[in-house]
Structure 1
Amino acid sequence: MITDPELHKLFKAESDEHLARLDDGLLRLEKMPADPELLDDMFRESHSLKGAARMLGLSRIEAAAHGLESIFNAARKGEAPLTPESIEQMNIALADLRQRAREALATNADCGLEITEPPADAGSLLIAASPIPQSHSPNPRPEAANPQAIKPFRIETVRVETRKLDDLLTQVGELAVIQGQAQHRLKLIEELMNLWAVLERRRNQTKAGLSAKHASVETADGCFGSLLKQARDAFFDDNARLESTVQRLDDQVSSMRLLPLSSLFGLFPRMVRDLAREQGKEVELLLEGGDITVDKRILEEMKDPLMHLLRNAIDHGIEPPDERARMGKPRAATLRLRAVREDIYVLLEVRDDGRGLDSAAIRLEAGKRGMLDDGVLASMTSRQIQQLIFTSGFSTSRYLTELSGRGVGLDVVRVNVERLKGGIRLESLSGQGLAVQMRLPLSLATTRLLLASVDGRLYGLPVESIHTSRRVRPEEIFQLDGRRAILLDGEPVIVAGLAELLEIPEGAHRAAAATGSKQQACVVLQLDHGRLGLLADELPGEEEVVPKPLGAPLKRVRNVSALAVLGDGTICPLLNPADLTRSAHKALRITELGLRTADAVPQSAPDMPQSKPAVLLAEDSALIRAMEKRILEDAHYEVVTAVDGLDALNLLGSRPFAAVVTDIVMPNMDGLTLTARIRAEPRHRNLPVILVTSLASDEDKRRGLDAGANAYIPKPTFDQRVLLDTLKRLI
């Protein structure tokens, strides 16, 4: 028995790791049974598991691990080469060993499986069970037994480098120093309060006619002012240090929550292998990008969506080998699970080379279910039709199987991705396969919100879903096929009142707005299937918050994803952009919220007022950034600032800009890399980029122009008229 709680926890983490590596190694040995390096790795894993069990007195688990160790040792020495039959027997033994280890940890008792050592010339695994349950099959599927009994995938242990702990301890020490200094500041405040009491008494005496005290009052006033200035300066310095320390502490703690995707990807090879064998299909699973680190919660929340997508690919998408051969495809299908880093996001993709989506069948099924009118379905594009597969309960399967046909899998995918503030899109060609792409943030510790006010209440919208925001006059809103719309960049965008979507009873603010005498704020959401404008009273600003999930019984509230406490203590609901879009879809009965065609603009659409051209200014020096911002604003440009190239690249995707003005030497991403990244985007190919930098040599200028810049202005000879004339000419 494991009586020590700490040892119990350590053995759980270590045994899980060894068993996972053994599982992965056996799958690889099926293809490369004589790989010497792989056999060495498997020998070491089983040996380490045996040693851990021995230290804790788990004799039967020790014996089981020793049996596997002996098999691998004989194989790596060439004494007993592995065969498909012996590998299959080891798969069964490993499944039982995992179950015994799980039971031992759950009960602090050791229920074992004994594996006897084979003779030196034997190539098969001899198993002496105590006894092996009769329900075992060649392809055990423990997850198929009782779905209700399956525990959620949770990562309970995270390994942390000692260097990170040292850095964390340093920051905690900094906070302790600042806390001690704060005690001294409190004493200073107490002195100020005492001095203030003295001043009050003397002022009262002066008012009573005791003018002889005037001199001492003036002296006390001067002393009070000096102390007040000291307190102000001290608090300013302490606040700056506290802000810097807390930021570093936050960054380090957040980095500890980042784990490699390989810890999640490793769960799927055996599942894919077993499912493919059950269905008589040949499938090769390729894993890419497992070294990318993401927030621990993303690993936990994305386990079920990825499992559903892989199962759907095997059950629905991939054809049987004979059918693939008749179609001229390889008998073995390729199923790819890929991760790609995109700045502060990660793109997860599940791609197969199977049948692809049948848009006609999806359209027919949607019509049968009455999901949309026939006219609406007929007008939808193929991509819009394909998005319907994410609707709850939707399935084109004619029969139910253990894996699919109930219409719940893809709905789980959509809900989980949206809960993680991500987006999902499809790419499919009939007969060529399907790719499901999910774009997720790397970290979920904090969220930046744009605050919107409706009837005096504040609501938060995640900034990553916002295309732009602006003020809208009543006369700018026009009717487009019975729907309210505005013009944005010369194109109509459907708008809806945030209050109506949230079903907020009409108050005084909205009553005043209904008279037509008040401008409204409009936030334009940018989602995978178009744009939607949300009308609100005001947009007070942005704020960084820590989202708090809704607790029971509010696990799922339409249009609301979480709650957050703002800096002033106000509780603010975090709105779900995807839910808001669906609410608008339902209320307005439209299928495309972001109309893109110019011929959809009515002849009576109002002329748009000329707005200030927006310039994105990237400069790491706060002083130079402020100076250039003032120059541009005085020339009637709207200026959005970024502290480096990476910040500018993120801002560039949030709204349209007329030009980019950037320095070259900056942290995180320099101006040359930023320019090259801008030119790599087809939509930004013609966006003017001006380099304003202290690098003034001919070689530097050549590198800047080679990167794709339109103009190069050296700071040593900087003249604001040159910058403004260049901007005017390029824009």
Structure 2
Amino acid sequence: MIEDLEMRELFRIESGEHLQLLEEGLLHLEKTPQTVAIIEELFREAHSLKGASRMLALEDIETVAHRFEDLLGEAKSGRRKLTQQAINVMYRCVDSMARLAEEAVSGEKSGVEVGEILAALELQETQEDAEKAREEGDSEESAEEPEGEEDPSSCGADVEPAPAAGAIAAVSPCLHLPASARLDSFSIDTIRVETRKLDQLMTLAGELTVAKHRVARRCTDMDGLADAWERIATTLCLKARRDTELEQWTSEFSTLLDQVKRSTSDDNSRLETVSGAIEEAILEVRLLPLSTIFNSLPRMVRDLSLEQGKTVQTIVEGGETCADKRVLEELKSPLIHIVRNAVDHGFELPAERAEFGKPRNGTISIRAYRTAENIVVEVQDDGRGLDLEAVRRAARKSGRREEELADMTDDQLRGLIFASGFSTSPFISDLSGRGVGLDVVHTNVERLKGTVTVESTPGNGCTLKIALPLTLATGRVLIVAARGVSYALPVEYVRKSYQLDLGSIFSIDGRDAVHSEGQTVAVARLSDLLSFARTDFLHEAPLPEEEGAGEAKSPCLIINSGGGRRFALLVDELLDEQEIVLKPQSSLLKHIPGISGATILGSGDVCMILNPPELGAALRQDGLAQTAVAEHERKKTVLVAEDSLTTRTQMKRILEGFGYEVTTAVDGLDALAKLGSGSFDALVSDITMPNMDGLALTQKVRQNRKYGELPIILVTMLSKDEDKRRGMEAGANAYITKPAFDQKLLFETMRRLI
């Protein structure tokens, strides 16, 4: 039985949740045995239960959970088929862990013998191996006994007749326990308020906050109405000075309006006070100190380090920091995995540390603190640090392409350790090597709308930082506008905002970029990243480049998208900063990249909440196809042959406005010379020019096989059908007449031909 009363209660709650999820997963797995996602989810739950059991020295649960992981690992790798009988065994493992968990909580003997469980599992494996060997036997042996008449319990002469579906219970009566028996064994000795119910209360409090903002707006409207009436009443009285009845009416109405105004203001103040008190009270009920989970970590570190022949001391700071109960519950499992990973992978053996000039005793520091928006937990060790070469090797082993790895920054490489199945350990042990631990960390933190980052210096240790929101019901957002639509951007992702001079945008590797705080970051419009290309049903705000040259600025946000990455986001307008209620993501928005949910603003308008990490990923993957086309076009170089200086200059400006790089030539001969000395993606030429006209230039170009596919566009004053025919015969791809010249037509022609 767990001696610590607080830890006993926490383990009762946590083990119940893990076991319930294991049962639900097995139900799904029974229907679709080869579903990798379900197997991985079961893997994570079993791994977390094993870690919690290990921390509390519950060796029996740890052993069964570890064997349960083995079964799933063999199924995932294809070494074992998840037959109905194998799933039955897994059910019985879960039942046994449930009885053992009840024993740890209540102190009543469970009657579970772990040795018998392992023996039953080995018997199951022996039966499956024998069955596999029988299926692979020669045809003569299989022909001696007609198909379908073999005793299903037979597994070879040297093996005892194996039980089928329910016979394993005969080997160990405690393996299979009905769910009703497990429920009966749990007594209700405390009253527990579910987090879900507190979430509902918090959501209602958030709705009250929205209502408060709307009432505040109505108060402002009332002030404006009162001012307007005062002006109207004054004007009426001046025009009808002798009309005492009108003066009386206006005076009475003014008095009534003033009373309503004061009452509304008083009601608004009262509503603001009450809603704030309710929200604080609910938050207070949900808050628990982080020492609740910190207190058991030093013992776990001690036991793990002794097992591996290491000496590691633990320093805990900030245990008095309080966090939302759900945040605390979800943080426990990631924290255990991080600490276990640090002890196993991070610290060298004492002799090795002495060789490097380090103290023989390692130190792991666990620190918590609270910011204005987040609860932050840092786990820092002074071990060997993260070996990026080992990460690269493991990434190659897991199927990552060499080109992809070569383009990754150090921060991106470090981020790979959170991928499912990723491990740098060369072997699998009961402590590590399965590639599950840090995947659990990433999954849990992401589910909480938090972030996890890793910093490491080779030879000097590693720091993992988890940042979680204070509450999961409300959040602070920046309201921005793009193409006439308002969006909510969580403020914790915004590094800074400023007015960007669009002339400072430059191109690098075919992408737009800007300088920010000494770094080069990619830049994109929010409307482009969200793929909302059609906006003809909206009132579009004018784009900055459509305005005058002196107004070529745009609001710009520097966004932290996770993993040490940043990007710049251009929006049309910065509208407001608000506290909002975070609504669950609806099925309509689930498959829209860059959107994490929706909310209702104080004005009553529905507003979509942006997901900055997904926006950053879309930008790295070239986002919208239209954006990719634009980037592709910006890299193209066009040669313009025109003898008129005015027309040449105007054509150059137009094409540069489309995003092309433009080189000009004064006639056909000049163009032919420049074409041979450079690389161009298209040729735009007039026909009537001195020295060599456009038709002769086109013919000369087409005679060179090197330019056989070069698009040639003739732009000329000659508009007769005969002139067009001659242009086509010379080898031009398009013919545009200047009398009917249209910039849009030129742009569409260029885009189609290149």
Does 1 or 2 have the higher relative contact order (CA < 8 Å, sep 6+)?
Answer: 2
Larger Rg: 2
Q: TM (normalized to structure 2)?
A: 0.48
